Structure 1
Amino acid sequence: LRPQWAGYSALQRLWAMLLIPVIRVTGDVAKMIGYPAGLRWRRANRERPEIHWRSKLDSGQRYG
């Protein structure tokens, strides 16, 4: 990382390193919030064939 950090001050580097966990946690929380919405969508669209793509892979069929 040294070449990428060369143009930044020590304070800017520290700030960037401190933001990494914040960005990770924000992404994890967003995924957790979106999971129930995805489940509701999946249940509401259960009849759509593209929902069952894994079973087609397991049976060797081609999707489409």
Structure 2
Amino acid sequence: MPSINFAKLKTSTGIPLATAKRSNDVGKTIFRANKARKRGKQNKQVFRSTMQMTKQTCTAN
């Protein structure tokens, strides 16, 4: 097996795989925020801050 260079691999969305692995927990947070929003809780705040966090994470690379 040749060694795989994770830095060069891309996911289907074109995000580098190493980044995708790192931002997976961000995705989970968004998912949680979305679920809570659907439940009609007052956490638009949570959702908004999550989205900002995500934008920072995605642009940080």
User: TM-score scaled to structure 1, two decimals?
Assistant: 0.33
Larger Rg: 1
Task: Report the structure, 1 or 2, having the larger helix content.
Answer: 1
Structure showing greater relative contact order (alpha-carbon pairs closer than 8 Å, 6 or more residues apart): 2
